[in-house]
Amino acid sequence: MRYIDFRDSICRELRRNRKGLTWPELRERLDLPYKSPCSEWVNRMEKENGLTRRPGSGRAYIWRLKARQ
């Protein structure tokens, strides 16, 4: 999987779910082949696409996209 495929699928799913999703939820919904996300790709998405990750319940982080302006 290339970065742009990963990015596009994550962003599309997060736009459908404005309250956000955890990594396991994203992985399952999108049938992603990764146990954990590539930190380099996640950092790039934070800068380029407004991805935010905030603590949720337990150890899970909620992934969201900042509202477009």
Contact 53, 63 (CB under 8 A): yes
Tokens of 33: 């082949």
Q: Which residue from 43, 35, 59, 53 is spatially nearest to 7, judged by alpha carbons?
A: 43
Main-chain dihedrals φ then ψ at residue 2, nearest 5 degrees? -90, 160
Question: What is the CA 38 to chain-centroid distance, rounded?
Answer: 11
**Host domain of residue 11:** 3-65
Mean pLDDT, range 38-59, rounded to an integer: 92
Closest CA to 32 of 12, 54, 18: 12
Whether the per-residue pLDDT at 67 is higher than 60: the answer is: yes
For 17, the token pair is 């779910």
Say which CATH number the domain at 9 has: 1.10.10
Specify the pLDDT at position 31: 94
How do residues 18-30 score in pLDDT, each as one tens digit? 899 999 999 999 9
Give pLDDT, residue 66: 87
What global pTM score does this model have? 0.86
pLDDT for 37: 92
The total domain count for the chain is 1
